[in-house]
Amino acid sequence: MRIAVDSCSAILMAKAIVLEAFANQYNLCITTEVYKEILEGKNKKLMDALLTERLVQEKKIKISKVKNNNLTKKLMQDFNLGIGEAETLALALDKQCESICTDNKQGRKVAVIHNLNLLGSVDITVSLYKLGLIDKDKAVNGLKKLKEFGWFQDYLTDNAIEEIKNA
């Protein structure tokens, strides 16, 4: 399954130390603009930027070019999205990817409106644990990092942590 990932989700999953496991299991793609957004942290030696760069170099995350720039512009106008989120959604809407991974509120709204297969960082972390791709400690610690760095309502990460602890 080919999954388009926006910068917010890629950065959050890198901080949660689950991006590499996600990239090892699935065919991830990011747009050129998303890659540029992530690499802005490289000068500051941010781990998420350095990890993403390595995963791209190792071809575990692929850079995809949006075919329909008009669709990107329309999404930006209609839903007040940044270019990275709009390009990521355009990949899925244009059938270049089967799923989209975003934690952006507006991006999630667009995905629901257009009936796209939608994933989020919390869901992915729980799924990686259930698939045996990360252990319980890594999953719980990852969810705690998502709670710390993300903009999730506490009950989302708290429920996911409980689900993992009780599994």
| Per-residue pLDDT tens digits for 118-142 | 999 999 999 999 999 999 999 999 9
Q: Is the pLDDT of residue 55 over 90?
A: yes
| Per-residue pLDDT tens digits for 1-43 | 899 999 999 999 999 999 999 999 999 999 999 999 999 998 8
Residue 117's nearest CA partner among 93, 84, 143, 82 is 93
Would the pTM count as exceeding 0.85? yes
Q: What token pair was written down for 91?
A: 């990949």
Q: The dihedral of CA 50, 51, 52, 58: what is its sign? A: positive
Residue 51's nearest CA partner among 27, 75, 20, 22 is 20
**What average pLDDT does this structure show over 155-161?**
96
Q: What token pair was written down for 152?
A: 């999730």
**What average pLDDT does this structure show over 147-164?**
94
**What average pLDDT does this structure show over 64-91?**
96
Sequence letter at residue 93: L
